[in-house]
């Protein structure tokens, strides 16, 4: 019930019913008043006509036996009459019922019917008199006194009276008919009002359903606009609103997806903060940085690094952009924080963190490269300069000493040449100008020849050099000279960094369509933190040691470029106990028993 009264149908229905009920009440009251007066006037007119007819009958049939009969025919069933002469004496009486004498005396004694008050048109008066049907009861009567004059000049009066109960009965019947009509009109109005309100509100209910569908994201909902009135115009406007809403939502969704794609594809970390410092939005790179921070801190709360929080507070409080470089989790980040505005007020800030660790490492490598190359060049140049000055100054006393000095100058010039050649080769490889002359090469004889080449070097260094391989014939499509350069570098490094009585082993294994060639040694090995950088240009894990042993930090970088050009892979790892394992993986051309 509450649902009906709270709906538009119930409210519109109740409004129409209240309005119609009020109108029916006013109309019924006025109509009852009008009908009451109408019935009274009709009764008076009827009594007046009957009185005139009785007077005419008296004048025309006086003294005749038919006169009483005619007068009884003229009178209604509820109407009685009597006639008086000029002296006021009753000459004829036509009364049916009780209390005849009392009624006549009551009428004649009424001052309104005195001779002085009689008019030509008669006098009408309502009088309370005894009932003609029940003893001891009093009723309201309407009495009409109508005087008349005979041809002889005698005067008389016709008194005609009727109980108001007849008028009241007629009025009651009329009232019942009026109330029945009002009730029928109320019922019909109720049905019509419900039908009208339902018809008016049906499009509104459809609009409510369509609005609910729109709130659920179904923007294709449409309303039929069959009417040309305000409701039809509202349906048209609703459909237009749905189309516009769908367009703007799709546009916002596209912009959101585009922004999400941009944020997720960015190498920089982006974090959006609220004005209270809580994180509203972050891309995957930022989440990775924060997770690493929480893990390194060993806490589960979402507190920010103090340095970043200080910069954020400064940017929000002073409404200015802040930039600085911060170390976080062992890495270096350039942080830029800018305030976000909502109108004139600041609603938060956006922070962009760029990982500058690689740049720091590159700067470090560059400085190391300059130092290493300067040292590698300074040493032979100093020797060349010193020995050449000794020759020029005639310090040498014999040809043998002179030849030794010339031999040193020659070796140092070759060393400088190798360094320059390595630099040129590396530059050519990294610029993509290296040309490979590939051919099918049998791996085992090829690697055996390289091992044999280093056998004497290994014996002189008191290092055990071994070669382990399967009994299969393995064919690789490679540039033989370039791959030999790679393994020459790897085996030479392994021998130089392996102590006496150590082992250097070259192992060949087949894994599916690839051939893995591993050079392992039992030396001190490369520190774990340096493994990820050893293939960088000019990088040397132990600068002091490699300078003594003649390394330039370019060999492994050249080796990686050569293997990459062959679509292979080269990796470095520490041995289970000590030493270093260098693995080269290349695709197999064919493999036969």
Within 10 A of 116 (CB to CB), how many other CB atoms are there? 5
| Chain position carrying tokens 């007119």 | 45
Q: Is the pLDDT of residue 214 over 90?
A: no
* DSSP E strand stretches across 418-502: 439-442, 464-468, 473-478
CA–CA distance, 508 with 519 (Å, rounded to integer): 9
- Boundaries of every domain in the chain: 1-216, 262-356, 360-428, 434-587
Question: Spelled out in words, what is the top-level CATH class assigned to the domain 1-216?
Answer: alpha beta
Q: Across residues 417-438, what is the average pLDDT?
A: 72
Write the pLDDT tens digit of every residue in 301-322: 667 788 888 888 888 888 888 8
Q: Across residues 28-46, what is the average pLDDT?
A: 79
Give CATH for domain 360-428.
1.10.287.130
Q: How far is CA 72 from CA 57, 76, 130, 564, in A?
A: 11, 8, 22, 142
| Mean pLDDT, the chain, whole residue set | 80
CA–CA distance, 577 with 593 (Å, rounded to integer): 34
pLDDT value of position 120? 55
Among candidate residues 286, 320, 319, the one with its CA nearest the CA of residue 305: 286
pLDDT value of position 547? 43
Q: Is the pLDDT of residue 592 over 60?
A: no
Of 133-137, 293-297, 347-351, 353-357, give the lowest mean pLDDT range. 293-297
Residue 90 tokens read as 């009753």
Within 10 A of 238 (CB to CB), how many other CB atoms are there? 20
Q: Across residues 74-103, what is the average pLDDT?
A: 83
Q: How many residues does the chain have?
A: 593
Residue 550 tokens read as 């003649």
Q: Is 219 helix (H, G, I), strand (E, B) or coil?
A: coil
Look at the alpha carbons of 255, 261, 267, 268 in this order and tell me if their dihedral is positive or negative: positive
More confident residue, 497 or 3: 497
More confident residue, 152 or 548: 152
- Complete DSSP assignment for 392-454: HHT---SHHHHHHHHHHHHHHHHHHHHHHHHHHHHHHHHTT------EEEEHHHHHHHHHHHT
Of 69-83, 256-270, 410-424, give the lowest mean pLDDT range. 410-424
DSSP code, position 474: E
Of 125-129, 477-481, 503-507, 553-557, give the lowest mean pLDDT range. 553-557
Of 428-432, 481-485, 509-513, give the lowest mean pLDDT range. 428-432
Q: Is 572 helix (H, G, I), strand (E, B) or coil?
A: strand
Q: With bands split at pLDDT 50, 70 and 90, how would you rate the model's confidence at 544?
A: very low
* DSSP E strand stretches across 446-533: 464-468, 473-478, 503-511, 514-521
Write the pLDDT tens digit of every residue in 579-588: 899 999 999 8
Q: How far is CA 329 from CA 103, 293, 455, in A?
A: 126, 6, 47
- Complete DSSP assignment for 140-205: EEEEEEEEEE-TTS-EEEEEEEEEHHHHHHHHHHHHHHHHHHHHHHHHHHHHHHHHHHHHHHHHHH
Matching CATH number, 434-587, of 3.30.1330.60, 3.30.565.10, 3.10.180.10, 3.40.190.10 = 3.30.565.10
Q: Across residues 426-441, what is the average pLDDT?
A: 75
More confident residue, 257 or 543: 257
Q: Is the pLDDT of residue 2 over 90?
A: no
Q: Is the pLDDT of residue 543 over 70?
A: no
% of the chain beyond a pLDDT of 90: 8
Q: Is the pLDDT of residue 413 over 90?
A: no
Q: With bands split at pLDDT 50, 70 and 90, how would you rate the model's confidence at 548?
A: very low
Strand partners, 322: 337
pLDDT value of position 445? 92
pLDDT value of position 542? 57
Look at the alpha carbons of 393, 396, 400, 401 in this order and tell me if their dihedral is positive or negative: negative
Write the pLDDT tens digit of every residue in 94-116: 888 888 888 888 888 888 777 65
Q: Across residues 150-174, what is the average pLDDT?
A: 78
DSSP code, position 112: G
| Buried b / exposed e along 442-457 (16+ C-beta atoms within 10 A) | ebeebbeebbeebeee
Q: Is the pLDDT of residue 473 over 90?
A: no
Integer-rounded Cα Rg, in Å, for the chain is 64
Write the pLDDT tens digit of every residue in 334-353: 889 999 888 888 888 999 98
pLDDT value of position 593? 46
Matching CATH number, 262-356, of 3.90.870.30, 3.30.450.20, 3.90.700.10, 1.10.150.120 = 3.30.450.20
Q: Is the pLDDT of residue 201 over 90?
A: no
Within 10 A of 560 (CB to CB), how many other CB atoms are there? 22
Q: Where are the alpha helices (DSSP H) in 454-554?
A: 455-460, 480-496, 543-548
Write the pLDDT tens digit of every residue in 231-268: 778 788 888 888 888 888 888 888 888 888 887 888 88
Q: Is the pLDDT of residue 478 over 70?
A: yes
Within 10 A of 150 (CB to CB), how many other CB atoms are there? 13
CA–CA distance, 121 with 147 (Å, rounded to integer): 8
Among candidate residues 409, 414, 412, the one with its CA nearest the CA of residue 389: 409
Strand partners, 464: 503
- pTM, rounded to two decimals: 0.42
| Chain position carrying tokens 């209604």 | 76
State the DSSP H helix or E strand holding residue 55, giving kind and residue range, or none if neither: helix 8-61
> CATH topology of 1-216 equal to that of 262-356?
yes
């Amino acid at each position: 019930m509450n649902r009906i009264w709270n709906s538009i149908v119930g409210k519109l229905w109740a409004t129409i019913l209240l309005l119609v009920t009020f109108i029916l009440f006013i109309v019924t009251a006025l109509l009852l008043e009008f009908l009451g007066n109408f019935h009274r006037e009709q009764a008076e007119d009827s009594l007046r006509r009957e009185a005139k007819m009785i007077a005419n009958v008296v004048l025309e049939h006086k003294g005749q036996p038919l006169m009483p009969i005619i007068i009884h025919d003229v009178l209604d069933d509820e109407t009685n009459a009597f006639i008086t002469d000029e002296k006021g004496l009753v000459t004829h009486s036509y009364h049916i019922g009780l209390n005849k004498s009392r009624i006549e005396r009551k009428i004649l004694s009424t001052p309104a019917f005195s001779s002085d008050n009689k008019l030509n048109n008669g006098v009408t008066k309502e009088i309370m008199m005894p009932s003609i049907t029940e003893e001891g009861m009093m009723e309201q009567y309407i009495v009409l006194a109508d005087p008349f004059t005979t041809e002889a000049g005698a005067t008389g009066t016709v008194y005609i009276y009727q109980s108001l109960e007849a008028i009241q009965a007629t009025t009651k019947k009329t009232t019942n008919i009026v109330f029945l009509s009002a009730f029928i009109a109320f019922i019909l109005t109720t049905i019509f009002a419900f039908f009208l309100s339902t018809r008016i509100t049906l499009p509104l209910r459809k609009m409510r359903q369509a609005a609910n569908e729109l709130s659920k994201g179904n923007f294709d909902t449409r309303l039929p606009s069959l009417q040309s009135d305000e409701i039809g115009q509202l349906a048209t406007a609703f459909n237009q609103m749905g189309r516009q809403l769908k367009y703007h939502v799709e546009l916002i969704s596209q912009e959101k997806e585009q922004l999400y794609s941009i944020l997720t594809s960015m190498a920089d970390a982006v974090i959006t903060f609220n004005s209270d410092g809580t994180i509203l939005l972050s891309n995957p790179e930022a989440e990775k940085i924060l997770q690493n921070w929480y893990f390194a801190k060993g806490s589960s709360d979402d507190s920010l690094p103090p340095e970043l929080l200080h910069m954020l507070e400064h940017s929000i409080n002073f409404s200015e952009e802040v930039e600085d470089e911060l170390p976080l989790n062992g890495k270096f980040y350039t942080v830029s924080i800018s305030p976000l505005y909502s109108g004139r007020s600041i609603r938060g800030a956006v922070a962009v963190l760029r990982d500058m660790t690689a740049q720091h490492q590159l700067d470090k490598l560059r400085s190391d490269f300059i130092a290493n190359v300067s040292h590698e060049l300074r040493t032979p140049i100093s020797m060349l300069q010193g020995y050449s000055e000794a020759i020029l100054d005639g310090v040498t006393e014999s040809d043998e000493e002179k030849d030794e000095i010339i031999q040193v100058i020659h070796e140092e010039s070759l060393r400088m040449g190798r360094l320059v050649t390595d630099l040129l080769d590396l530059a050519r490889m990294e610029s993509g100008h290296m040309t490979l002359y590939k051919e099918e090469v049998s791996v085992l004889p090829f690697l055996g020849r390289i091992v044999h080449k280093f056998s004497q070097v290994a014996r002189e260094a008191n290092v055990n050099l071994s070669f382990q391989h399967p009994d299969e014939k393995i064919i690789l499509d490679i540039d033989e000279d370039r791959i030999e350069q790679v393994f020459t570098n790897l085996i030479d490094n392994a021998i130089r960094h392996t102590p006496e009585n150590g082992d250097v082993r070259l192992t060949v294994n087949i894994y599916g369509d690839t051939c893995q060639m591993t050079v392992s040694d039992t030396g001190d090995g490369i520190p774990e933190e340096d493994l990820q950088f050893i293939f960088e240009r000019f990088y040397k894990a132990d600068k002091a040691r490699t300078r003594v042993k003649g390394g330039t930090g370019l060999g492994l970088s050249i080796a990686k470029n050569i293997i990459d050009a062959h679509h292979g892979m080269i990796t470095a790892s520490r041995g289970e106990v000590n030493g270093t394992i260098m693995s080269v993986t290349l695709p197999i051309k064919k493999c036969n028993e």
